[in-house]
């Protein structure tokens, strides 16, 4: 391999980063990655670049492709954590056997209202789930395959999360 095949091999990492810095900032801004998380994502990608540099044809193209994938994974992971948090909170609210305090009752009623606004399929899945049924039991009771119930449940949790977030937004009064 000649230096013409790998022009970035001869340049230092600092020079390489200086040359791509404006595009890096634009990429992270486009994906709305917070600066502290952007730094972590960039470091992970740069480490992978350094370890694989010998087999990479164009470091810049590889780096930006890797960063785009890592940005998508970043938001996917954030959504997953949000859905899990909503699921845990919903389980906790609906599983309380004793009469809850007023605030807890309000949250429980908000959750029930949000679930009732979902499509029938999601209502059925979530009610069974929050009554303590395992995914295999939910699939059997509703006639779904065991392989698909996880994906359907995640979609229903996403819809519930979206519904709860919409209901939590402050409502503006429209003046004539």
List the one residue out of 118, 117, 119, 141 whose CA is nearest residue 128.
141
What number of residues does the chain have? 176
Is the entire prediction scored with pTM above 0.85?
no
CA distance 46 to 28: 15
What the block records as the tokens of 3 is: 């230096």
Q: Using CA atoms, how far apart are residues 103 and 118, in angstroms rounded to an integer?
A: 23
Here the tokens at position 77 are 């992971």
pLDDT in tens, the chain (176 residues): 444 454 444 457 788 888 899 999 999 999 999 999 999 999 999 999 888 888 988 889 999 999 999 999 988 888 877 777 777 767 666 655 555 555 556 767 777 888 888 889 888 888 888 788 888 888 888 888 888 888 888 888 888 888 877 765 444 444 33
Q: In the numeric block, which tokens belong to residue 123? A: 């209502």
Structural domains of the chain ordered from first start:
7-78 (no CATH), 95-168 (1.10.10.10)
Residue 62 confidence (pLDDT): 92
DSSP code at position 4:
T
């Amino acid at each position: 391999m000649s230096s013409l095949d790998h022009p970035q091999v001869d340049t230092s990492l600092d020079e390489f980063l200086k040359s791509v810095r404006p595009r890096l900032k634009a990429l992270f801004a486009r994906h709305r990655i917070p600066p502290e998380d952007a730094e972590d994502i960039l470091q992970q990608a740069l480490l992978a670049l350094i370890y694989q540099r010998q087999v990479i044809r164009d470091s810049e193209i590889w780096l930006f492709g890797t960063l785009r994938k890592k940005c998508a994974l970043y938001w996917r992971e954030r959504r997953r954590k949000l859905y899990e948090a909503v699921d845990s909170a919903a389980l906790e609210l609906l599983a309380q056997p004793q009469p809850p305090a007023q605030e807890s009752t309000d949250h429980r009623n908000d959750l029930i209202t949000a679930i009732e606004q979902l499509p029938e399929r999601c209502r059925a899945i979530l009610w069974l789930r929050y009554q303590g049924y395992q995914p295999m039991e939910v699939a059997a009771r509703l006639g779904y395959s065991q392989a698909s119930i996880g994906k359907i449940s995640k979609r229903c949790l996403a819809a519930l999360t979206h519904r709860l977030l919409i209901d939590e937004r402050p409502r503006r009064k429209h003046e004539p």
